[in-house]
Amino acid sequence: MKLVTPLINWSRMPQEYVPGKCNIGTRGRAIRLSTGLVLIALSVVLAFTVFNPLNHLVRLGLILPIYIGFLAALEGTMSFCVLHASRGTYDLHEPKGMAIGSSSTLEKVGSEEWKKLDRRKARLMHLEALAGAIFVAGLLALT
């Protein structure tokens, strides 16, 4: 029962813009989460197959795809896109799941204070993704 609770709470995320908390909808979250998990898994597989016979320090080069994977996974779990935050926009009904600017449902954030909250949240997410990427790439380099 306790394993299902986070999934139920995840599906009940607000479907409205909340400054510093939510700027993407359900479709965008699902696409970002799956993309992030795939990138992280591919990086780990590459580390053990392609880069295995090479020097261990070469595996540290995987820090970039791991970082992008962690950032995408964080965006999916937190319902918050760092690219939207940097642009001062939000899109709760993204047709493609990416902040590429071609969405007809893209909205501008109305307040400078709200933009500041979004940018602060984005910086925190970048730091979390970087810390996770450094940790995982370090573990891969040591194996």
The verdict on residue 43 lying in a domain is yes
Distance CA 103, CA 2 (A): 37
What pTM was computed for the model?
A: 0.83
Supply the range of the domain harboring residue 119.
20-142
Domain count, the chain: 1
Q: What is the pLDDT of residues 124-137, one digit of tens each?
A: 999 999 999 999 99
Q: Which residue has the higher pLDDT, 102 or 139?
A: 139
The verdict on residue 7 lying in a domain is no
Q: What is the pLDDT of residues 83-120, one digit of tens each?
A: 999 999 988 887 765 556 567 778 889 899 999 999 99
The verdict on residue 12 lying in a domain is no
Q: What is the pLDDT of residues 24-60, one digit of tens each?
A: 988 889 999 999 999 999 999 988 888 777 777 778 8
Distance CA 123, CA 111 (A): 19
* Virtual torsion, Cα 83, 86, 92, 93, nearest 10 deg: -50
The verdict on residue 93 lying in a domain is yes
Residue 33 near residue 72 (C-beta atoms within 8 A): yes
Smallest Cα–Cα separation from 92: which of 17, 11, 12? 17
Residue 125 near residue 75 (C-beta atoms within 8 A): yes
The verdict on residue 108 lying in a domain is yes
